[in-house]
A = this chain, B = another copy of it.
Amino acid sequence: MNASNTTASAAERAQDAVNNERLQSAIAALAAFGGRDDGGVSRETLTPIDLAARRHLIDYARSLGCEVGIDDCANLFFRRAGTSDRTPVLTGSHADTQPVGGKLDGAYGVLAGLEVIAALNDAGIRTVRPIEVVAWTNEEGSRFGPGTMGSSAFVTPSLLDGYRQSVDKDGIVMGDALDAALKEVPDVPRRAMALPMEAYVELHIEQGPVLERANAALGVVTGIQSVRWYRVVCTGMAAHAGTTPMDERSDAMAAAMAIATQLYARADQEAAHNIRLTLGRWHVGPNSINTIPGEVEFTIDVRCVDAAVLDRFERFLQDVTSQHAWRGNITFENLFYRAPTAFPQPMLDLIEKACTRASDLAQRGAPKKVTSGAFHDAMYMADHCPTGMIFVPSKDGISHNAAEETAPADLYLGVQALAYTMVELANR
């Protein structure tokens, strides 16, 4: 018997055994936890409804024969044994949502992993390595900042102490919420953080319009954009709108506007490099109709796969704020920096093969190579083990919204591609 043929065949059989009806039912069942009349889902991390959803996932995974474990950050792991005790292959995503989110962002990746296990059961396939499915805690970061807590703490457990200090808007401390969540599942054994993994593959909705526009059902994610966040503070002098002549003003909004206009123009010049610039959060003081703004603060979110483009942007920001120093006191500071993530070529090759077979069988166009503009748990896992991601389209590119949607046929193809990839990895 040719081992390589056997492996390939198992991956194909796993791919073909994915059950679309069961997948859609599982998505609908989890969406009921925090489900909203508008079709959206409100299931912020570690809320009572999130704890109920976790119990639902534990029960479902056990019904598929999985062993369940939980770590100190309440990340849930569902394990299907392999024929060996080699390091496992991991898939999954997160089950928490934004305050108002959709039923797919995160949940889809967790349920896809469980559907892969169900398909393997149906097809009677055993893999060499164990397959694990994870539901990361607090990917969204909307209740307790920062986001991607679970995966980053898994990779770097020393982060957890700091995360536990985070406080939500009602004054609840993250550490207390975490302890309560752990207490809710006395039947689930605790397992260590940072356990070695052979590979991590995350299936997720794109949350952008690129795949839909290209009419591609599947996306091979080559990497995650580098992100830099800045805060610009322009301090002028608040004064009466009626009594202060224009040439006597130190108008912080006029300064902010001049700077922002130059930043937008710069982004236009870098359009070929697919830079993305967002000036999303503004604070204007005193924010009164008849008072000249004395202080304007705004944030910059700038992303690109090419770190050199962002280096140039930062130098430009430095120059522009200096140019406008005559208008008042203008400062900027870096709030966050994340280098680009490039997934390894062998992983991209494998995922492309898996996506191509699924697309071909469904008579859909070739998978498209895309970069991720959003953060994902895979960003941190890429520091821990060979990692990859698969995207399915988002209708109109909408996410973090009740209107988030992906065609069921595309969701099905995504899980097919994941099943193939996982079995290939688990038999190596």
Contact = CB atoms under 8 A, between A and B. Distances in A.
Nearest to A142: B288
A373 B209 contact: no
Contacts of A242: 207-208, 225, 227, 276, 301, 303, 372-375
Interface stretch (A148-156, A267-275, A351-359): A267-275
Contacts of A229: 289-290
Contacts of A261: 257-258, 261
A289 B282 contact: no
A284 B287 contact: no
Contact of A240 (B254, B275, B374): B374
Query: Which of A244, A267, A268: most chain B CB closer than 10 A?
Result: A244
A350 interface: no
Interface size on A, as a range, is 35 or more
A35 interface: no
A254 B243 contact: no
Query: Main SS of the interface on chain A?
Result: mixed
B279 A397 contact: no
Contact of A209 (B248, B257, B264): B248
A162 interface: no
A331 interface: no
A243 B208 contact: yes
B280 A207 contact: no
Given A253-B279, A257-B261, A207 B243 contact: yes
A280 B303 contact: no
A241 B275 CA distance: 11
B276 A291 contact: no
Interface string A216-254: 000000000101010000000001111111111001011
Given A290-B301, A291-B400, 18 more contacts: A206-B243, A241-B303, A242-B301, A243-B372, A243-B373, A243-B374, A243-B397, A246-B275, A246-B276, A246-B277, A248-B397, A251-B278, A253-B279, A257-B257, A257-B264, A258-B261, A278-B289, A281-B288
10 contacts: A207-B240, A207-B243, A239-B397, A240-B373, A240-B374, A242-B276, A242-B372, A242-B375, A243-B374, A246-B267
List the 7 closest pairs (A to B, CB-CB), nearest first: A208-B243, A242-B373, A241-B278, A243-B373, A207-B243, A241-B301, A242-B374
